[in-house]
Structure 1
Amino acid sequence: MKTFNYAVAYTFLVVFLFILPVQAQSVGELTVQGTEIWKDGKPFPFTGISFFNAIYNPTFNKDRVERKKWLEKFDRYGLNVLRIWGQWDNKLGFVDTCPGCTLYNPDGSLRPEHLTTLKTIIREAAEQNMVIELALFARESYNENIRLGQPEADRAVKTLTQELLPYRNVVFQVWNENSVRVIDHLKIIKSVDPKRLVTNSPGYGGDLGDDKQNQALDFLTPHSSRQNVGRHWEIVPLEIKYLQQRFKKPVVDDEPARNGTAEFGGPKETPSPFDQILQIFQVWQAGGYIVYHHDMFQKGYGHPSVPPSGIPDPEHNPYHRTVLEFISKRPRYQH
């Protein structure tokens, strides 16, 4: 009679329990098919909102119940992508900014408390079938000389890529509005995680990127032209079409014209929500994707433009609600 091998059984159980959560986290694999973004083997209607301070916002990160409430609200408004930043340590007075509001220590190691929060957000977003677009570095911080040295930046990118390997509902955006060493960082990411989709925001509004990085990246996320060019709702769809035709890959209108103050690239005069709606509709018609940009983070708590929660609330003011109600009806209007 054969004896039961408890050691083998125990080893099998440990391996099974380790693999199971990794497999669960891997659900949501993002790929590129021509000029489309796919998720789990089918087209994904990539539709985002700027939530740069998500990792550092105390209301959003109060507990699982609070996060779920907000994620469900975003979902009701047709939003399935959160664009969040690893660096929120600039000195511009944005809501929730602070010197320690960054994923990175000066030596390029990761801050464990912020990494834990990021992973929690990613997991709970995945439960809502949502994607995280993670901007690794921010020009706003870079301009104020809040930046890592080259070896430290390389260490940060490599370590973060390793840490997020199991989480497949994440795309990396190397920079917000910068092009410093984009190809170097892309190579590091791909050496660790060849399947991770990588993009970049190359510069300020209207900067569509250089050929070298546009050819190398998996998909494109430029900050399209804003109100300073005039009828941006007519010009931007042409920019999206140009990039699609030239580089044969998906294009996201990542930080488009918006309402708000004239600071930080905002309009010099009061826009209409229908300016945004027309632009979004035309970008959809062109086969592009959008991330809704806004002014709900550019001042401190107590300013009328900032929701009391510091979270980009779709219902904070009539302007945002008008645009986001249109976005929520994307299946009605998008072919």
Structure 2
Amino acid sequence: MKKFKIIVYPVVCILMVFLTSFQLNKKNTIVEIKGEQFFVNGKPTYEGRVWKGNKIEGLLINSRMVQGTFDDLNPETRKLFAYPDTKKWDADRNTKEFVTAMEEWKKYGLNSFTLNLQGGSPTGYGNKEWVNSAFHPDGKLRPDYMKRLKKILDKADQLEMVVMLGIFYFGQDQNLDDEKAVINAVKNTVNWILKKGYQNVLIEVNNESDNKAYDHGILKAERVHELIDMVKDMKHNGKRLLVSTSFNGNTVPKPNVVKSSDYILIHGNGVSTPEKLEALIHNTRKVEGYRPIPVVINEDDHYDFDKEKNNFTTAVENYVSWGLFDFRRDGEGYEEGYQSVPVDWGINSERKKGFFNLVREITGVGK
């Protein structure tokens, strides 16, 4: 009997550790693609919703919130991002306020947002000496960034929201040593997500792959499909992540990317009229390799939300998901813009209110 207890006890302990680990990694939200539609937990998004004769079911209505994990690792420029009340920058405060705001976004009908592990320009456009990267120069993950990312992904999973997670940004990829480091960063990121059990994450390999500022060849439009294919081949417990990458505003994606991607990303920056946006969408669906998969705009800095026709309404009329890109203009206050650091993550400027009110109207959520 004593020998039996000696054998059983470690087996029970191992089983308990396994079950505990399983519970910690068990997630609530699963995103899938079926044809041109996004599904969450087995149902198309906005199930049955039609707005002004346009099908909304299956779309991702999103916003560019890429600074959710932002930090500046350069002590010389860090002071540029000080909060107006404390006069200092605080990365943990930024993420905490981001997570707090997510429930309000969801109440208006937003079901998705874009993050980026190297952020975006913290001044809206342009890059200088600041260093915002979730990766060490060799591509290893920085634990503090991933801790902040986990808080956001956990909340998104709880709220049944989809996260489009960008890995690289053209203002920061130079902080990786070489192509090997880029590949390491992709592998480390994807493995981290898969092993944590997140199934509500879509990968955007890099923001605007055709931007000439990229330093590493594998991140440029001609070769970025190599990384897309690599992500598709990575699996954990038989599961993989859906993946794509984006292009500059008013740019039709290249065939190599369209062929490899699970969904197509285009940007509305530089698309000054709804008619031009409609042409961009039409031309995107004519690219070699296109088949019925979702087309998503996850960055557009054109608003006019009070008008009958704008880029947002034009996108949904053409069955394309649409995403806001909002930044603080010169002379505007702290409450403006979701990309300018420090960020006020609330819905408390006229532009933000205009966007979210239209989200509510189109999606029918909370009405």
Could you state the TM-score of these two structures normalised by the residue count of structure 2?
A: 0.74
How far does residue 286 in structure 1 lie from its aligned partner after superposition?
Answer: 1.9
How far does residue 226 in structure 1 lie from its aligned partner after superposition?
Answer: 3.2
- Percent of aligned pairs sharing the same letter: 19
The reply on whether 1:310 has 2:336 as its aligned counterpart is no
Distance 1:128 1:59 in 2: 25
1:123-159 CA distance string (max 9 Å, x none): 11111111211111112335xx445411110011001
User: What residue number does 2:51 align with?
Assistant: none
How far does residue 61 in structure 1 lie from its aligned partner after superposition?
Answer: 3.8
Distance 2:121 2:356 in 1: 28
Gaps of 5+ in 2: 46-58, 72-88, 211-219
Change (3 A) 1:78 1:252: same
SS at match of 2:165: strand
User: What residue number does 1:53 align with?
Assistant: 67
User: What residue number does 1:266 align with?
Assistant: none
User: What residue number does 1:134 align with?
Assistant: 165
SS at match of 1:328: helix
Change (3 A) 1:313 1:244: farther
User: What residue number does 2:254 align with?
Assistant: 210
1:35 and 1:244 in contact (8 A); partners too? no
Gaps of 5+ in 1: 260-271
How many residue pairs get aligned? The number is 311
1:154 and 1:188 in contact (8 A); partners too? no
Amino acid across the alignment from 2:274:
W
Aligned counterpart in structure 2 of residue 237 of structure 1, from 255, 275, 278: 278
Matches within 5 A, 1:97-108: 99-108=130-139
Change (3 A) 1:243 1:91: closer
Amino acid across the alignment from 2:284:
L
User: What residue number does 2:48 align with?
Assistant: none
2:118 and 2:168 in contact (8 A); partners too? yes
Distance 2:128 2:35 in 1: 38
Aligned counterpart in structure 1 of residue 359 of structure 2, from 301, 317, 327: 327
RMSD over equivalenced CA pairs, Å:
3.3
Matches within 5 A, 1:1-335: 5-22=8-25, 24-25=26-27, 27-44=28-45, 45-56=59-70, 61-62=92-93, 66-88=97-119, 99-142=130-173, 145-165=174-194, 166-179=197-210, 180=220, 181-193=223-235, 195-202=240-247, 204-224=248-268, 226-228=270-272, 232-244=273-285, 246-258=290-302, 272-274=304-306, 278-296=310-328, 305-306=336-337, 310-316=343-349, 318-332=350-364
Amino acid across the alignment from 2:226:
D
Change (3 A) 1:276 1:18: farther
SS at match of 2:266: coil
How far does residue 207 in structure 1 lie from its aligned partner after superposition?
Answer: 0.9
SS at match of 2:300: coil
Distance 2:311 2:332 in 1: 30
Distance 1:6 1:236 in 2: 65
How far does residue 13 in structure 1 lie from its aligned partner after superposition?
Answer: 1.2
Amino acid across the alignment from 1:253:
I
Distance 1:80 1:243 in 2: 24
Change (3 A) 1:98 1:123: farther
User: What residue number does 1:262 align with?
Assistant: none
SS at match of 1:135: strand
Change (3 A) 1:331 1:63: closer
SS at match of 2:344: coil
How far does residue 247 in structure 1 lie from its aligned partner after superposition?
Answer: 2.8
Change (3 A) 1:150 1:164: same
Change (3 A) 1:332 1:64: closer
How far does residue 60 in structure 1 lie from its aligned partner after superposition?
Answer: 8.0
1:108 and 1:154 in contact (8 A); partners too? yes
Distance 1:304 1:64 in 2: 16
